[in-house]
Structure 1
Amino acid sequence: MSILLPMLITLCAYYFSRFIRTNSIIIFIFALLLSAITILVPNSIVTTFIANGTIGVTFLLIVMFTGALKKGSKIKKQLSSVRNEYAILGFIFITPHAYLYIYESIVNQIPLEIMGILIYILLLPLFVTSFKLIRNNIPTSSWLKLHRLSYFAYLLIFLHSIRVTEFRHIIAYSILFGTYSIIKLNNYFEKHSIIKATAITLVVTTGSIFLITDFDSYLNVPYNIMEGNEFEDGTYIGYSKGFHNSDTVVRVQIENNQIKYVFIEDCGCTPNVDQDKYFDVAFDIANEIKDENRTDIDAISGATKTSIAVNNAVIDALEHALVK
């Protein structure tokens, strides 16, 4: 579904651009209603993709790539005709995502995602000046200067996206934004442009992955501590780092070298609109560890960090029980 939605939204821009322009006010009102419903009911089948930012970012990515397409091409002409409308829709649909995460951060007393807030602040003036009524009252040169902020916003969206997502999505975002970067930078160099553009993009992308993400956590692969070891009976507490280095805490009871139970004290899941999913994953991994009596349970797709963290927390607990 997360792949089909961007394709569908792009196809709508290409084949129904005239309809979108003609009925833009109605579409904006409908988008506002959907966004309001998302804030009230964020976890339904429809609103989940708005709440997690997928739809809002998709509109913004289409706006982003439209500017990089070859001048004079038919696809650029079609997409450019609804670029303002898509920029407005992107901001409308990103608003519930921003509101929900800020709300959850305040309620659960966790640090705010400053990069995400900065993106929203940057997008606000771009959103306002995308309306024709506002744009027509601003000198063209001033409008263009203001909208150069969008390049900085795109960079922050990339950094924010790879910071808060799973490894498989990090690769996807890197390819997506890397492609855009190469296309745009290619236009700024006269000689060896594609080589220079690719080199700069690779340096920025790989550097961002290592500096912004918890990349090392994906390399900390759990092992089966039960294999070939003896343990003292008892109950032990174990710790590891979960999503964004949040603490994962477990209580483990072992008897006759058999894990009797694994209790999740804290799953290390950052509270957000998908929190129930990650809580469920943590408990599923804990139950598998107990049932299979091993600590290298395969990660569940879409919750890799949580899966690894629970495994490693149980390993940490059992290390205290090892018979020396």
Structure 2
Amino acid sequence: MNLIFGIAVTVIFYILTADAIKKHPGAFYLGIYVWCGAVVMYFNLGYDQKFPEWFNVYFMNMFSRGIFTTATFMVVMYLGVITKHNKLSRKLMSVRGEISIIGSLLTLSHNVVFGVKYFPMLFTNPKAMPTRELIASSITLCLLAMLIPLFITSFKSVRRKMSGKTWKKIQRMAYPFFIGIYVHIMVLYSADVKSHITGIVVYTLIYGSYVVLRLRKAALKSRKLKAATA
């Protein structure tokens, strides 16, 4: 239930802050970066032992376990497959690039924290790593290779200096990146399928629905192009 709760909280957060993000994106980028550091300190210094369990389970774990980060990219994903926008989706669509940047900053921070442990071993002694961690770390490197150009080109100042064709070509990497996140999560969950069954079902439904909607949008676009050239 904390996974579903975390996703709901993330979506509500962006709905409530969309206007503020649009006006002051830099403040949110900095705030998210500082918050990531605070979360690391919170757990490393043992503050999680001093707060109620419900606070850690339903709030802090959203950030330490990457739920907020993954849900942030879910918002970006689903905004990209909507064919008929309403007032709410248009509001979020106006800051889709900024939300993507926030998700990228969260992901990069997450990888700095965990990469200190896993990446040196991956490059120096991969045979010593358990198979699941080796696969997960390798997938992470692939995700980072896609994320960095997506992250950089999400800034409007960078986008304005690029041709529309080049920008769109780079942004197409978002599709394998989104699916790669799902694969990465499933690899991690494979360590204990029974205790993660809810997460497996929820993520599979969300990503499965995304694939269906993305294919539907592509089919509708193809039909319009054929009708226009007929």
Question: Deviation at 1:128?
Answer: 1.1
Q: Tell me the amino acid that sits aligned with residue 2 of structure 1.
A: L
Q: Select which of 190, 208, 221 maps to 1:178.
A: 208
Bigger drift between 38-47 and 90-99 goes to: 38-47
Q: Tell me the amino acid that sits aligned with residue 91 of structure 1.
A: S
Contact kept, 8 Å, 1:32 with 1:92, in 2: the verdict is: yes
- Three-state SS of the structure 2 residue aligned to 1:2 is helix
1:35-93: CA deviation from partner (whole Å, max 9, x where unpaired): 22334444643554323211111111110111111333223211111111110110111
- Aligned 1:1-324 pairs, distance under 5 A: 1-42=2-43, 44=48, 45=56, 47-105=60-118, 106=120, 110=129, 111-112=133-134, 113-165=137-189, 166-189=196-219
C-alpha separation between the residues in 2 aligned to 1:125 and 1:88?
11
TM-score for both structures, normalised by structure 1: 0.54
Contact kept, 8 Å, 1:50 with 1:94, in 2: the verdict is: no
Q: Tell me the amino acid that sits aligned with residue 3 of structure 2.
A: S
Contact kept, 8 Å, 1:28 with 1:89, in 2: the verdict is: yes
Q: Tell me the amino acid that sits aligned with residue 183 of structure 1.
A: L
Question: Deviation at 1:14?
Answer: 2.6
- Three-state SS of the structure 2 residue aligned to 1:92 is helix
C-alpha separation between the residues in 2 aligned to 1:72 and 1:167?
33
C-alpha separation between the residues in 2 aligned to 1:167 and 1:3?
13
Unaligned runs of 5+ in 2: 49-55, 123-127, 190-195, 224-230
Contact kept, 8 Å, 1:50 with 1:96, in 2: the verdict is: no
The residue number in structure 2 matching 1:309 is none
Larger radius of gyration: 1
Contact kept, 8 Å, 1:38 with 1:51, in 2: the verdict is: yes
- Three-state SS of the structure 2 residue aligned to 1:156 is helix
C-alpha separation between the residues in 2 aligned to 1:145 and 1:177?
22
C-alpha separation between the residues in 2 aligned to 1:50 and 1:96?
11
Aligned pair in 2 of structure 1 residues 91, 31: CA closer, same or farther (>3 Å)? same
Contact kept, 8 Å, 2:159 with 2:167, in 1: the verdict is: yes
Aligned pair in 2 of structure 1 residues 130, 177: CA closer, same or farther (>3 Å)? same
Question: Deviation at 1:5?
Answer: 2.8
Structure number with the bigger relative contact order (C-alpha 8 A, sep ≥ 6) is: 2
Contact kept, 8 Å, 2:39 with 2:64, in 1: the verdict is: yes
Contact kept, 8 Å, 1:38 with 1:48, in 2: the verdict is: no
Contact kept, 8 Å, 1:50 with 1:97, in 2: the verdict is: no
Question: Deviation at 1:117?
Answer: 2.0
TM-score for both structures, normalised by structure 2: 0.74
Name whichever structure is richer in strand by fraction.
Answer: 1
Unaligned runs of 5+ in 1: 194-324
C-alpha separation between the residues in 1 aligned to 2:106 and 2:210?
22
Identity of aligned residues (%): 20
